[in-house]
C-alpha cells in the first residue's frame, strides 16, 4: 500500500467524521491496525477535528437558562398540539445537520492540512534554491581561480617574460619573491614565495632600479597567492627590490626596510 496516497485520499478524515459505510469503516480500521503511520495520522486528524469544534463552540449568555424556564412556566396551562413528523423526516434532518457539520469540519481540516503541506513544500523549495545559489557561487569562485591560474601559466611560460629572483636581505633572510618582467610590453608580475604578513598600517612596495634610480612599481600585501599584476615600468631595469612602506606607498623607498632584492642580470 502506498501510505502517502492513502493519507492524501481523505478517507481518514471521512472515517473520523463518521461519513463512511460500514464496510469502508472496517477496511480503514484494518489498515490502521496494520500500519502504525496510519494510526498516528488518524489520531492527529481526530485531535484537529476536536480542536476545531472547541474553537467553533459558542458560549450562551448567562440569562438564557432563566429565560427558557420562564417560557416553559408560561406554557404549562396551554394546550400542546404535537407536531406530526415521520421518522423519515426526523432522520433526514438529523442526517442533514450531521453531514453539514462533518463537511465543515473536514473542509477546515483539509484547508489546515494542505496549508501546512504547502508551507513545508515552500520551505524545502527555498532551501533548495539557497543550496543551488551556494553551488553556483562556489562554481564561479573555482572558475575564476582556474582562469587566474591559466593567466599565470601563460605569463610564466612566455619567453618574453624574464624571471628575476629576489632573495631576502638581512632584514628578512627567509623572505623570497620573484618578478616576471616583459621589457618589450613593460608588464610586471610579482610572485610571493615567503613574505611575512604586515600590520594594517603598512604595505610592501616594489621598486625597479632604472638608470640607478628607484621607480615605483606598485604596492601589495604579503598574503596574496598567484601572480600579482604590478605597475608597468620602462625599459632598462637593472634590479628589483621590495621595501616596507606606510599603507599606500611612498615616492621614494625606505632603504632601511628593504626585504628582498634581485638583479636582472643574475643567472
Nearest residue to 156 (alpha-carbon basis) of 190, 185, 132: 190
All 3 cell numbers of residue 222?
604579503
Q: Tell me the CA end-to-end span of the chain in Å, nearest whole number.
A: 81
State the DSSP string of 129-161. HHHHHHHHHHHHHHHHHHHHHHHHHHHHT-TTS
Q: Which pLDDT score is estimated for 78? A: 54
Whole-model pTM? 0.48
The pLDDT, as a whole number, for residue 166 is 94
Q: Are 206 and 174 in contact (CB under 8 A)?
A: no
Compute φ and ψ for 193, nearest 5 degrees: -105, -40
Question: Where do the domains of the chain lie?
Answer: 1-53+88-157, 162-263
CB atoms within 10 A of CB 228: 17
* Burial of residue 162, with CB atoms counted within 10 A of its CB: 0-12 exposed, 13-18 middle, 19 or more buried: middle
Strand ranges, E, within the chain: 162-168, 176-182, 187-194, 202-210, 213-220, 227-229, 237-246, 260-263
Q: How far apart are CA 148 and CA 151, in angstroms?
A: 5
H or E stretch covering 58: none
Contact yes or no for 261/206 (Cβ under 8 A): no
> CA–CA separation, 8 vs 213, rounded Å?
84
Q: What is the pLDDT of residue 155?
A: 84
Scan for cell 594594517, then name that residue: 200
For every one of its 267 residues, what pLDDT tens digit does the chain have, with 9 covering 90 and above? 788 888 877 788 778 877 778 888 889 899 889 999 888 988 888 887 666 656 555 555 566 556 556 666 665 555 555 545 445 555 555 555 555 555 666 666 666 666 676 767 767 777 777 777 777 777 677 666 676 677 777 888 889 999 999 999 999 999 999 999 999 999 999 999 888 889 999 999 999 999 999 999 999 998 777 899 999 998 899 999 999 999 999 999 999 999 999 999 864
CATH code of the region 162-263: 2.60.40
Amino acid at each position: 500500500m502506498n501510505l502517502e496516497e492513502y493519507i492524501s485520499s481523505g478517507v481518514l478524515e471521512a472515517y473520523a467524521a463518521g461519513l463512511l459505510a460500514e464496510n469502508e469503516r472496517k477496511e480503514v480500521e484494518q489498515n490502521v491496525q496494520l500500519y502504525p503511520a496510519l494510526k498516528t495520522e488518524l489520531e492527529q486528524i481526530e485531535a484537529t477535528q476536536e480542536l476545531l469544534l472547541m474553537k467553533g463552540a459558542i458560549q450562551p449568555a448567562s440569562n438564557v437558562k432563566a429565560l427558557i424556564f420562564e417560557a416553559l412556566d408560561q406554557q404549562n396551562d396551554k394546550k400542546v398540539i404535537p407536531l406530526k413528523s415521520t421518522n423519515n423526516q426526523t432522520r433526514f434532518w438529523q442526517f442533514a445537520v450531521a453531514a453539514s457539520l462533518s463537511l465543515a469540519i473536514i473542509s477546515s481540516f483539509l484547508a489546515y492540512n494542505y496549508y501546512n503541506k504547502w508551507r513545508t513544500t515552500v520551505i524545502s523549495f527555498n532551501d533548495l534554491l539557497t543550496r543551488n545559489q551556494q553551488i553556483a557561487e562556489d562554481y564561479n569562485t573555482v572558475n575564476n581561480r582556474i582562469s587566474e591560474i591559466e593567466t599565470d601559466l601563460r605569463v610564466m611560460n612566455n619567453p618574453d617574460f624574464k624571471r628575476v629572483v629576489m632573495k631576502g636581505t638581512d632584514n628578512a633572510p627567509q623572505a623570497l619573491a620573484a618578478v616576471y618582467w616583459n621589457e618589450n610590453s613593460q608588464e610586471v608580475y610579482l610572485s610571493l614565495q615567503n613574505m611575512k604578513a604586515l600590520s594594517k598600517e603598512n604595505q610592501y612596495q616594489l621598486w625597479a632600479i632604472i638608470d640607478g634610480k628607484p621607480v615605483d612599481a606598485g604596492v601589495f600585501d604579503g598574503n596574496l597567492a598567484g601572480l600579482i599584476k604590478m605597475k608597468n615600468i620602462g625599459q632598462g631595469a637593472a634590479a628589483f627590490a621590495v621595501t616596507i612602506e606606510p599603507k599606500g606607498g611612498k615616492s621614494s623607498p625606505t632603504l632601511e626596510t628593504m626585504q628582498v632584492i634581485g638583479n636582472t642580470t643574475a643567472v
